Amino acid sequence: MRKKIVAGNWKMNNGIEETEKLIHAVTNSIASLNLENVRVIVAPSFVSLTTAIESVKNSHVEVAAQNMHQAKNGAFTGEISAEMLVSIGVKTVILGHSERRQYFGENDELIARKIDAALANNLEVIFCFGELLEERKLDNHLLEVGSQLKNTLFHLKPEDFKNIILAYEPVWAIGTGETATPEQAQEMHAFVRNVIAKKFGKEIADSVSILYGGSVKPSNAEEIFSKEDVDGGLIGGASLVAVDFVAIIEAI
Ligand code: PGA
């Protein structure tokens, strides 16, 4: 059975005190829930990772990083390598987020190298992809996402997928308050699963979790999560508010 996953992407928010507080609020609230097939992940900023890892001990919550550099080490001022993340106990990293693409010039080729570096270090990857508003308006969303998947994932080996989580994040829905309809999400998730099935086989496609991201909130989570191919969510804004994040976890 595919794992259900609710992951919170905190982006550039929260110092260590807020991190500790927010994690404790979440872990206390979910302690009594039955989360047998559900993973809960939070992704704080680099500086809060160690605090977060400490704070989630003995709870159901896991910690992910939001980014990393593709090189092993070297003269890359300000960057963090996969090995460094592993050294503090990080097991999962978000890669390919649209904000990285939009503001930091990351493209498919670079993201593919980051994915390789993460997998080589046994890090699990939450790989984000999605179309722009213009592409959706032109009805090119499937084509665009198909091409992103091809450029970033098709060189992988089938066994790499045990360490891959996919996250469909339509760029027009991120931080905008606008959400894809459950039908739009389902259409894309089924398409993505089919692309993976064609390239890597049905077994891999059936076992890979595909999350939806883009303005998921307590009021829309349940409907989106009810779709067959939606295995959870990558949550931005709403994951910064404990009661909202917990309500989204309850929705799954
Ligand atoms: P949002 O962000 O929930 O604030 O739209 C989602 C994301 O960027 O992962």
| Tens-digit pLDDT profile for residues 153-210 | 999 999 999 999 999 999 999 988 888 999 999 999 999 999 999 999 999 999 999 9
Ligand 1 in reach of 156 Cβ (< 6 A): no
| Cα-to-centroid distance, 138 and ligand 1 (Å) | 23
Give the whole-angstrom CA distance, residue 106 versus residue 112. Answer: 10
Residue listed under structure tokens 């960057």: 79
Which ligand 1 atom is at minimum distance from the Cα of 98? 8
Give percent of the chain with pLDDT exceeding 90: 97
pLDDT above 90 for 213: yes
> Which of the residues are catalytic?
97, 169
pLDDT of residue 218: 97
Structure tokens at 192: 């993505």
pLDDT class of 121 with cuts at 50, 70, 90: very high
- The whole-angstrom separation of Cα 186 and Cα 225 is 9
Residue nearest to atom 2 of ligand 1 (CA): 236
CB 223, CB 182: distance < 8 Å = yes
Ligand 1 atom nearest to 239, measured from its CA: 3
Q: Residue 233: CB within 6 Å of ligand 1?
A: no
Residue 45, pLDDT > 90, answer yes
Spatial separation of the C-alpha atoms in residues 237 and 239, rounded to whole Å: 5
Query: Is the C-beta atom of 27 inside 6 A of ligand 1?
Result: no
Question: Which of 89, 67, 88 lies closest to 79 in space, CA to CA?
Answer: 67
Residue 137 pLDDT more than 90?
yes
Residue 204 has a pLDDT of 97
In the chain, what's the furthest Cα-to-Cα distance? 48
Q: Are 68 and 98 spatial neighbours (Cβ–Cβ below 8 Å)?
A: no
Report the residue among 100, 169, 178 best suited for mutation to probe ligand 1: largest number of ligand atoms under 8 A from its CB.
169
Which residue among 66, 210, 215 is best mutated to probe the pocket of ligand 1, counting the most ligand atoms within 8 A of its Cβ?
215
Give the pLDDT of residue 178.
Answer: 84
